[in-house]
């Protein structure tokens, strides 16, 4: 079995809690798909040796919530200054008619390229652009593109079985599925793609777009029970804006997390994106039940939604991860930008001691891996999967750092990935994806955007 030795790193942030959050290294050995040793190591005969001098090593980021199809919907003028509900109508709803097979493939390649170039090795994509009679297999396409890049891919299989009352003039491509049709499709995807292990490269999670608006209430328990019968997780959006709270109060006479509990949508197999507007007792309900949060600070800031109480949930023993959300509401859809924002926003609101770089890294690595059922991913430990990012600090941004380990998160900007490994395979080298024709991808993106601009809604 071939081995790779990373030598002379300045240090490592491990994704572990407490004093184990940092490892001095300075060396790390990869054997096959796993981490074989960490410490002061000597090269073995025939071993590949990579110089990590002036570099720091992190676990590969785990992006727990994305919408890859939105990678071609960045900065749409009609939605740039809108809050969530009107933004939904101006961007995702209005532009659903453009989500063709070619558009989705280009968008997925752009989104995954952005992510891996930031050090991300696991991507959970909440894809909800499914409709009855659609002419291509979106699930297969997304897994195929992910395989091109060599990343772990979790399909958060979204969709709706009713039209949201707030959707204005939805196109035919936003037609809802039937309960039976959606569950049959999800079961088929599970048979084709889902791997149950903690080191899986492919997983499927049942993810109706929003429990409050996209699914008739009587169907919620059916979805939850179907997912548990299939042995897969549940995911959705929740409490992203104050509209969720108002709706649940006015229609159901309760808070959103209370609504989820009534319909069997809490538990260690459930996690939600956003969770911005929570009362203290709702945070306690999430922590007690093991229900997870995918924290998306940049999108929440961009849409004016607020700041999720991630540190409060984590302090109660709750489960927190990080997601970049869709590029339609986060034009910097990469994990280093997201981690930088997560480190800052809580400090702005709650004080400088409210978050640390180590905690944010843990949310964005081990936290996401836990929610996605990837127990062998997300930490730098002997025996774990060799999913890791080697960041070079030979740039002016990092000059003067007294603590180089915090550089990629604290300094922000476009961190330089010198090496990125997923399951022991190098998928980024010297800031580039081997074999990726960036010029061709940019040309395809420009052509796709030009077509949408020419036929833009309104």
| Half-sphere exposure at residue 380, Cβ-oriented, CA atoms within 13 angstroms | 33
Q: What percent of the chain has pLDDT over 90?
A: 95
- Could you tell me if 405 and 340 lie in one domain? no
Is 456 among the domain residues?
A: no
For residues 400 and 43, the answer to whether their CB atoms sit within 8 Å is no
**Is residue 131 situated within a structural domain?**
yes
Specify whether 28 is located in the same domain as 161: no
Q: Residue 457 has what pLDDT? A: 61
Number of residues in the chain? 458
**Dist. CA 320–CA 239, nearest whole Å:** 15
State yes or no: pLDDT of 288 exceeds 90. yes
CATH number at residue 395: 2.30.40.10
- Flag whether 449 is in a domain: no
> Are 256 and 215 within one domain?
yes
Distance of CA 307 to the CA centre of its chain: 17
Share of the chain above pLDDT 70, in %: 100
Nearest to 268 by CA among 319, 203, 206, 323: 319
pLDDT tens, position by position, 165-179: 777 778 889 899 999
Residue 401 has pLDDT above 70, yes or no: yes
323, 338, 371 — which closes off a domain? 371
**Containing structural domain, residue 288:** 61-371
- What is the pTM for the complete model shown? 0.98
Instruction: Select from 322, 345, 371 the last residue of a domain.
Output: 371
In a shared domain, residues 185 and 312: yes
The pair of three-digit structure tokens given for residue 390, joined into one six-digit string: 């080697």
In contact, 356 and 403? CB cutoff 8 Å: no
Nearest partner of 2 among 386, 393, 428, judged by Cα:
386
The count of structural domains within the chain is 2
pLDDT, position 168: 73
**Whether residue 126 is found in the same domain as residue 250:** yes
Same structural domain, 143 and 191 = yes
Task: Write out the two tokens for 60.
Answer: 């590969």
Last residue in a domain, options 328, 348, 371:
371
Q: Is the pLDDT of residue 24 over 90?
A: no
Query: What rounded mean pLDDT belongs to the chain?
Result: 97
DSSP 373: T
Q: Is residue 321 part of a domain?
A: yes
Q: Indicate whether 54 and 174 sit together in one domain.
A: no
- 24 and 92 housed in the same domain: no
Q: What is the mean pLDDT of residues 11-40?
A: 97
399 has pLDDT over 70 = yes
Neighbours of 54 (CB within 10 A): 16
Q: Determine, yes or no, domain membership for 46.
A: yes
More confidently predicted of 24 and 430: 430
DSSP readout, 248-309? IIIIISS-HHHHHHHTT--STTEEEEE--S--HHHHHHHHHHT-EEEE-HHHHHHTT-----
Residue 437 lies in a domain: no
Predicted pLDDT of residue 458: 57
Who's near 439: CB < 8 A, 6+ residues apart? Answer: none
Evaluate whether residue 444 is within a structural domain: no
Instruction: Give the contacts of 350 (CB within 8 A, at least 6 positions apart).
Output: 311
DSSP-derived secondary structure for 177-234 = PPHHHHHHHHHHHHHHH---STT-SEEEEE--S-TTTSS-HHHHHHHHHHHHHHT--E
Q: Tokens 């969720």 appear where?
A: 244
Q: What is the pLDDT of residues 300-332, one digit of tens each?
A: 999 999 999 999 999 999 999 999 999 999 999
- Residues 55, 138 share a domain: no
The CATH number of residue 248's host domain is 3.20.20.140
**Cβ(280)–Cβ(313) under 8 Å?**
no
Q: Are residues 37 and 69 in the same domain?
A: no
**Domain for residue 85, yes or no?**
yes
Task: Map residue 30 onto helix, strand or coil.
Answer: strand
Residues 123 and 256 in one domain: yes
| Residue 106: closest CA among 452, 456, 419, 372 | 452
Of the ranges 35-44, 157-166, 178-187, which one carries the lowest mean pLDDT score? 157-166
CA dist., res. 1 & res. 3, Å (int): 7
60-118 pLDDT, tens digit per residue, is 999 999 999 999 999 999 999 999 999 999 999 999 999 999 999 999 999 999 999 99
Q: Which of 157-171, 185-199, 353-367, 419-433 has the lowest mean pLDDT?
A: 157-171
Please give the pLDDT value at position 169.
Answer: 78
Q: Which of 223, 157, 155 is nearest to 185 (CA)?
A: 157
- The angle formed by the CA atoms of residues 368, 360 and 313, to the nearest 5 degrees, is 70
The tens digit of pLDDT for each residue in 254-279 reads 999 999 999 999 999 999 999 999 99
Residue 185 sits in the same domain as residue 252: yes
Confidence class for position 1, pLDDT limits 50, 70, 90: confident
* pLDDT at site 375: 98
Residues 6 or more apart in contact with residue 440 via CB below 8 angstroms: none
């Amino acid at each position: 079995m071939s081995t790779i030795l990373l030598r002379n790193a300045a240090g490592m942030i491990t994704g572990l809690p407490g004093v184990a959050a940092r490892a001095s290294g300075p060396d790390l050995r990869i054997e096959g798909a796993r981490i074989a040793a960490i410490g002061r190591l000597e090269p073995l005969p025939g071993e590949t040796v990579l110089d990590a001098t002036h570099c720091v090593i992190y676990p590969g980021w785990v992006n727990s919530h994305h919408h890859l199809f939105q990678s071609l919907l960045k900065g749409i003028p009609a939605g740039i200054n809108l809050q969530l509900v009107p933004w939904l109508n101006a961007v995702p709803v209005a532009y659903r008619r453009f989500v063709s097979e070619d558009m989705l493939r280009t968008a997925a390649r752009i989104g995954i390229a952005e992510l891996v170039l930031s050090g991300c090795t696991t991507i959970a994509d909440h894809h909800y652009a499914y409709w009855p009679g659609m002419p291509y297999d979106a699930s297969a396409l997304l897994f195929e593109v992910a395989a091109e890049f060599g990343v772990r891919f979790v399909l958060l299989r979204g969709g709706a079985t009713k039209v949201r009352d707030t959707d204005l003039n939805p196109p035919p491509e936003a037609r809802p599925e039937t309960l039976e049709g959606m569950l049959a499709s999800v079961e088929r995807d599970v048979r084709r793609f889902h791997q149950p292990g903690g080191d899986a490269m492919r997983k499927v999670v049942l993810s109706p777009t929003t429990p409050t608006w996209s699914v008739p209430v009587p169907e919620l328990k059916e979805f939850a029970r179907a997912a548990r019968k299939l042995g897969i997780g549940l995911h959705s959006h929740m409490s992203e804006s104050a509209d969720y709270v108002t709706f649940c109060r006015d229609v159901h006479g309760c808070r959103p997390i209370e609504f989820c509990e009534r319909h069997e949508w809490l538990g260690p197999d459930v996690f939600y994106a956003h969770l911005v507007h929570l009362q203290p007792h709702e945070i306690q309900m999430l922590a007690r039940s093991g229900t997870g949060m995918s924290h998306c600070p940049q999108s929440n800031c961009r849409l004016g939604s607020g700041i999720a109480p991630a540190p409060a949930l984590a302090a109660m023993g709750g489960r927190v991860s990080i997601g970049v959300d869709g590029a339609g509401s986060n034009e910097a859809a990469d994990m280093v930008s997201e981690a930088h924002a997560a480190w800052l926003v809580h400090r702005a609101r709650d004080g400088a001691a409210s978050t640390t770089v180590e905690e944010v890294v843990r949310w964005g690595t081990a936290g996401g891996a836990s929610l996605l059922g990837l127990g062998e991913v997300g930490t730098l430990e002997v025996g774990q999967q060799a999913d890791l990012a080697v960041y070079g600090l030979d740039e002016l941004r990092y000059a003067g750092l007294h603590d180089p380990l915090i550089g990629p998160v604290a300094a922000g900007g476009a961190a330089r990935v010198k090496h990125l490994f997923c399951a022991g395979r190098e998928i980024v080298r010297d800031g580039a994806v081997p074999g990726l024709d960036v010029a061709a991808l940019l040309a395809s993106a420009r052509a796709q955007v030009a077509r949408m601009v020419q036929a833009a809604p309104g």
